Structure 1
Amino acid sequence: MRLKHFSLSTEKSYVYYIRDYILFHNKQHPKKMGASEIRAYLSHLATVRHVAASTQTVALSALLFLYRQVLGIELPYIDNIERAKRPQRLPVVFTRSEVMRILANLDGINHLVVSLLYGTGMRLMEGLRLRVKDIDFEYRHITVRDGKGKKDRHTLLPESVIQPLQHQLKKAKHLHEQDLAVGYGTVELPYALARKYPSAHKEWKWQFVFPSGKRSLDPRSKVVRRHHLYEQSVQRAVKKAIQKAEITKNGGCHTLRHSFATHLLEDGYDIRTVQELLGHKDVKTTMIYTHVLNKGGHGVQSPLDKEFA
């Protein structure tokens, strides 16, 4: 998995489901099992454990990886799997005033991160993994590296965050210089860049824009260094801000991305432009936001209102 540059979270998920699959079949070696055992396990996840459809898909991907990439066994097509039902839900969207109320209940670095998520349409981890070199103040854009599907893309840099972002960079640079002075100051580099550019891991341009408040031990390399801000700290701050703003919608950090797309479409921007900013492979994925706009009954007068007009 590391040779294929899987993220740490994917690695953990795959190992968990491979182990669970082996335990489910009484610790039989996977080489002695095949399509029928995979079918039984995945059906068990759906019918007995009632897992979400996305969880069942991750488990299937883990097992396919095990057989194809690790054991070198090509499996036949696995049919008749009892599938977990994927609910057809429209994304939750905050109104513009709700977004402003959420931001009003945030401060410091959390306020800046959430402003960026709403102002750029980035996913939470895309925002937290942002590096100094990927912000272009002159061209007013941000380069999102290695997004979903291992794709790079450009998104806009909102004018309103430029000054606080520059202030954050000064603070991050000061922190980086302090780390260098005491023998630290390295950062994790993607793929094999650490071997290609041996000194790059100490360079300012490669540092995270939102560094963690403390150094930590990398679980893979066992090197002590400063990672980016912990995602759960931002998620918790957003949840509290939503509660303080007295918003009853069940939303979170990703809801800001949905709100970004919906509000751009409300403002009349072309759906292809929104697709590129979000990094969607297929415009059909972006089309869900047009359904959000249409489901509210815009332009339709309720018969109740007509009776009392």
Structure 2
Amino acid sequence: MASTGSTNLKLRDQVRRVIRLNRYSIRTEQSYWYWIRFYIRFHGVRHPQEMGPKEIQEFLTWLAVERNVAAATQNQALNAIVFLYDKVLGIPVGDISGTTRAKRPPRLPVVLTHDEAMRLIAELSSPYDLMASLMYGAGLRVVESTRLRIKDVDFSRSIITVRDGKGGKDRTTLLPGPLLEKLKNHMGRIQAEWKMANPDYWVPVSLPFALARKYPNAGQSLEWQWLFPSHDCVPDESGNIVRHHIHTSSVQKAVKAAVKRSGIGKAAGCHTLRHTFATELLRRGSDIRTVQELLGHSDIRTTQIYTHVLGQGFAGVSSPLG
């Protein structure tokens, strides 16, 4: 955005400030700025204050018709633009009902059998095997598994706390029994290195929002250490060097490669393990409301898609063939 000059730099600062005041996740911040910048560039780097419903409709329609984006992608762009006008600029969006909407074709998620999931996990090396096991055994999203900290695993209550999940929500989910010893050993190694003052732990871990200012030593405390740390140190939003968790793309690449080696023959990835968690729980008789809570779905209709994957959405109707 160099060609936009100081005006758009100021706009980005405004967007960042309002997003953080509303405590949105860093992923939402990145996504929203991506679409806001795309919208501005699409209209020849005009300032959003000079545009309105007509330009918004043109951009969203172009995404649907010319770029052929998915409905979820168009909705994400719309949410970002509405946020910009409503929350940042304080300008009503106006009537954009004439926008051509991307179609939302009904698709069932790819799921694995239990044996296929275990074959996939067996193809992974440490720590990716443990992360994949948590995606399948606890229903975690890939980003949720990478963001786990030592304090999020509660062995006494057999629960995992997912913080700042999708939609900025916290939730608890199952701590799978078969992973207890593996997790204890994994966390024990981290604790031992931390106690020995391994140079990796001299650099504080990244912390959410203003926590680093409120608790200056929290980034070097044991409970805030990443469960799956990266060895790379990067600057945070304030320019301070911090240690981050394993990047989601590393996990995704490892799982994709494991799918090929396993010979499963399905277009599977990290999220497939979460889908399989849900279908396995329902297949084994778990209540759909409980599965909804474990997955962190705000709408039960999202969870109900898994009943169709299992073929349980036909109200007891059987084929006339037999």
After TM superposition, is the score higher than 0.5?
yes
Q: Any conservation in 2 of the 1:102–1:242 contact (CA below 8 Å)?
A: yes
Structure 1: gaps spanning 5 or more residues: none
Determine which of 222, 233, 236 is the counterpart of 2:239.
Answer: 222
Tell me what 2:120 maps to: 102
- The CA distance in 2 between the partners of 1:170 and 1:124, in whole Å, is 23
Tell me what 2:258 maps to: 241
Question: Percent identical across equivalent pairs?
Answer: 50
Aligned runs of 1:126-165 on 2, under 5 Å? 126-165=144-183
Tell me what 1:196 maps to: 214
Q: Any conservation in 1 of the 2:25–2:168 contact (CA below 8 Å)?
A: no
- Tell me which amino acid in the other structure corresponds to 1:210: F
Check 1:244–1:82 CA distance in 2 against 1; reply closer, same or farther (3 A cut): same
CA-CA distance at 1:186 after TM superposition: 1.0
Tell me what 2:29 maps to: 11
Q: Secondary structure at the match of 1:45?
A: helix
**Which range moves more in the overlay, 233-242 or 171-180?**
171-180
Q: Any conservation in 1 of the 2:233–2:243 contact (CA below 8 Å)?
A: yes
Say if 2:304 is the partner of 1:287: yes
Q: Secondary structure at the match of 1:185?
A: coil
CA-CA distance at 1:178 after TM superposition: 5.9
Query: How much is the aligned-residue C-alpha RMSD, in angstroms?
Result: 2.2
Q: TM-score, normalised by structure 2?
A: 0.87
CA-CA distance at 1:244 after TM superposition: 1.0
Check 1:160–1:109 CA distance in 2 against 1; reply closer, same or farther (3 A cut): same
Q: TM-score, normalised by structure 1?
A: 0.90
**Which range moves more in the overlay, 243-252 or 182-191?**
182-191
Aligned runs of 1:171-182 on 2, under 5 Å? 171-177=189-195
Say if 2:39 is the partner of 1:30: no
- Tell me which amino acid in the other structure corresponds to 2:161: T
Tell me what 1:257 maps to: 274
Deviation string, structure 1 residues 68-114 (Cα, Å, up to 9, x no partner): 22222122232111011112101111011111110121121111111
Say if 2:303 is the partner of 1:277: no
Tell me what 2:139 maps to: 121
Say if 2:75 is the partner of 1:57: yes
CA-CA distance at 1:2 after TM superposition: 3.3
Q: Secondary structure at the match of 1:206?
A: coil
Q: Secondary structure at the match of 1:226?
A: strand
Tell me what 1:205 maps to: 223
Aligned runs of 1:82-97 on 2, under 5 Å? 82-97=100-115
Q: Any conservation in 2 of the 1:125–1:231 contact (CA below 8 Å)?
A: yes
Check 1:80–1:296 CA distance in 2 against 1; reply closer, same or farther (3 A cut): closer
CA-CA distance at 1:302 after TM superposition: 8.8
Aligned residue pairs, count: 303
- The CA distance in 1 between the partners of 2:91 and 2:198, in whole Å, is 48
- Tell me which amino acid in the other structure corresponds to 2:89: L
Q: Secondary structure at the match of 1:155?
A: strand
- The CA distance in 2 between the partners of 1:106 and 1:125, in whole Å, is 18
CA-CA distance at 1:182 after TM superposition: 7.5
Determine which of 231, 250, 255 is the counterpart of 2:248.
Answer: 231
Say if 2:122 is the partner of 1:73: no
CA-CA distance at 1:179 after TM superposition: 5.9
Q: Any conservation in 1 of the 2:149–2:223 contact (CA below 8 Å)?
A: yes
- The CA distance in 2 between the partners of 1:104 and 1:54, in whole Å, is 33
Tell me what 2:59 maps to: 41
Check 1:296–1:2 CA distance in 2 against 1; reply closer, same or farther (3 A cut): closer
Structure 2: gaps spanning 5 or more residues: 1-18
- The CA distance in 2 between the partners of 1:210 and 1:33, in whole Å, is 45
Q: Any conservation in 1 of the 2:53–2:94 contact (CA below 8 Å)?
A: yes
**Which range moves more in the overlay, 252-261 or 3-12?**
3-12
- The CA distance in 2 between the partners of 1:199 and 1:14, in whole Å, is 31
- The CA distance in 2 between the partners of 1:301 and 1:182, in whole Å, is 62
- The CA distance in 1 between the partners of 2:182 and 2:201, in whole Å, is 29
Q: Secondary structure at the match of 2:172?
A: strand
